[in-house]
Amino acid sequence: MVVQNALHLVALLVAFYVVAALGRVLARAMRMPTVVGEIALSILLGPVLLAAFGEDLFTAVLPKDVTATLKQVGEAGLVLFLVGVVHHLDRGAGGWRGRALGRISFGAFVVPLLTGLAFAAWTLWLAPADVRGTAPVVALVIMLAVSMSVTAVPVLARILEERSDLGRASGLSMMASVLIDTPAWLLLAVALGLTAGGLGGVWLAFATIAVGALLAVGGNRVLRNAAVAGTASDRPRTTALVLGVVALGAGAAVHSLGLTAIFGAFVVGMMVPKDEAWSRVVGLVGKVGRAFVPVFFVVAGVTLSTSGVTAFPWAGVALALVLGIVGKVGGGYAGARWGGEDEVTSLRVGVLVNTRGLTEIVVLQVGFAAGLLTPGLFVALLVMALVTTALTGPLLDLITRRAGAAREEVVV
């Protein structure tokens, strides 16, 4: 029986990777970020299987015990992947200083928070009861505000790698996104704390973050020691294995306190020094994690398909899309113009910070698992995340074409 379950698990993992690869191919053919196709197909796999083959076959293919194991694999992969993402968070071009950066960060964070409050008002007062759910009001409001405000740093980084025509907007958008996500994660910790134990849960969340910050600083000093750094340089694979175990342990410890294991990844990612040897080690950890991230998305889709979405929340999807785009594109554009940037750069910044992708999916999954988001809200915000990310490439192309046409008119 154990061997049979193991073979079943391996077969599913292979199938998930094939689906993710197909998603990347389709996205590339449609000139969208490849990660959009990967995420979309992986999440849709569960609902499609259920709709196409019925509950009996669905349960046979994805029994609960195997799904539980897949959930652990996916979450472990996500933790390892985020260690690498966090480790490289402050490596944007152009430095951290500048009036434009601060004002872009302000506009691209505060305006989406306000649109999140508007979406929360609809959820509390106008949405059907099964969409609203029973989550504590304050925690739900914070959760929805955070859902509108985050930007996907890893997805944005991949988009910028493929685009060399964006000029100053690249560095500004990347650094602003990093600055935006820090308070967003802190607010998420508050929402989770309120859900777990009221104000006591909030204090526990902040205490956990404070202890994590101290551990990151202390661990960074230890890892800078010549002997430890030498081991990282001479034995990168062994060191990567140890670092991966530490990251998973930190994630499990944070999860046991009622928060998300992702905070453990943040602590470890910030702890590791940013020299060449350690960057190679973190790269190995992140590469292993990245291989298992599609499993995380598939499990999210499976969970959603079995959680009972009674009807597709069309009104919620439309409202989330409008507010999401207005908040991020409008806030980023306004902040850039306020900071003295030209119109084209400001438009590009607004479009780039509207990229939500992986980070948004993680935030939504955390809120869903904690009981803050109902299946209906999860679907509405998930569609918003995928559409806003998919729009990044076409909107950037449109801005570039219009800027080129404007220059030709001036020359003529």
Domain boundaries, the chain: 2-411
Measured distance CA(168)–CA(141) in Å, rounded? 35
Helices assigned H by DSSP within 259-391: 262-271, 276-305, 314-325, 331-338, 343-353, 357-369, 375-390
| CA atoms within 13 A of residue 29's CA, in its CB half-sphere | 8
Read off the pLDDT band of 258 (50, 70, 90).
low
Closest to 392 in 3D by CA, of 88, 170, 94, 205: 170
> In the prediction, which pLDDT does 201 show?
61
**Contact 33/27 with Cβ under 8 angstroms?**
yes
User: Region 312-318: what's the mean pLDDT?
Assistant: 87
DSSP assignment of 58-108: HHHHS-HHHHHHHHHHHHHHHHHHHHHHHHTTT--TT-S--HHHHHHHHHH
Tokens 């980023």 belong to residue? 332
> In the prediction, which pLDDT does 255 show?
78
pLDDT at residue 300 is higher than 80: no
CB atoms within 10 A of CB 338: 16
CA-angle at 184, arms to 183 and 189, nearest 5°: 95
Model pLDDT for residues 18-37, shown as the tens digit of each residue: 888 898 888 888 777 777 78
Model pLDDT for residues 316-344, shown as the tens digit of each residue: 999 999 999 999 999 999 999 999 899 99
* Most confident by average pLDDT, 3-12, 58-67, 345-354: 345-354
pLDDT at residue 237 is higher than 80: yes
Closest to 290 in 3D by CA, of 82, 84, 81: 81
CA-angle at 224, arms to 222 and 225, nearest 5°: 70
Closest to 365 in 3D by CA, of 150, 198, 127: 150
Q: For the purposes of burial, counting CB atoms within 10 Å of the CB of 110, is it exposed (0-12), middle (13-18) or buried (19 or more)? A: middle
User: Region 385-396: what's the mean pLDDT?
Assistant: 89
Percent of the chain with pLDDT over 70: 88
Measured distance CA(106)–CA(100) in Å, rounded? 10
Range with the lowest mean pLDDT among 47-56, 131-140, 251-260?
Answer: 47-56
Q: For the purposes of burial, counting CB atoms within 10 Å of the CB of 245, is it exposed (0-12), middle (13-18) or buried (19 or more)? A: exposed
Measured distance CA(13)–CA(29) in Å, rounded? 25
> In the prediction, which pLDDT does 412 show?
44
Read off the pLDDT band of 309 (50, 70, 90).
low
Closest to 331 in 3D by CA, of 58, 67, 81, 149: 149
**Contact 299/94 with Cβ under 8 angstroms?**
no
SS3 content of the chain, % helix, strand, coil (to 5): 85, 0, 15
Measured distance CA(114)–CA(91) in Å, rounded? 29
User: Region 380-395: what's the mean pLDDT?
Assistant: 89
Using only C-alpha atoms, the chain has a radius of gyration, in whole angstroms, of: 21
Q: Which amino acid is at 295?
A: V
User: Region 131-158: what's the mean pLDDT?
Assistant: 87
**Contact 313/377 with Cβ under 8 angstroms?**
yes
DSSP assignment of 365-380: HHHHHTTSS-HHHHHH
**Contact 165/400 with Cβ under 8 angstroms?**
yes
Q: Cα 175 vs. chain centroid, distance in angstroms?
A: 16
User: Region 351-375: what's the mean pLDDT?
Assistant: 87
End-to-end CA distance of the chain: 76
Measured distance CA(328)–CA(184) in Å, rounded? 14
Measured distance CA(370)–CA(258) in Å, rounded? 9
Q: Which amino acid is at 120?
A: A
Model pLDDT for residues 81-123, shown as the tens digit of each residue: 888 877 765 444 444 446 788 899 999 999 999 999 999 999 9
Closest to 140 in 3D by CA, of 367, 319, 383, 384: 367
What average pLDDT is seen over the chain? 83
Tokens 């305006």 belong to residue? 111
Phi-psi region of 374 (alpha: psi -120 to 50; beta: other; left: phi over 0): beta
> In the prediction, which pLDDT does 51 show?
64
As a CATH number, domain 2-411 is 1.20.1530.20
User: Region 343-356: what's the mean pLDDT?
Assistant: 93
Closest to 168 in 3D by CA, of 344, 30, 295, 305: 344
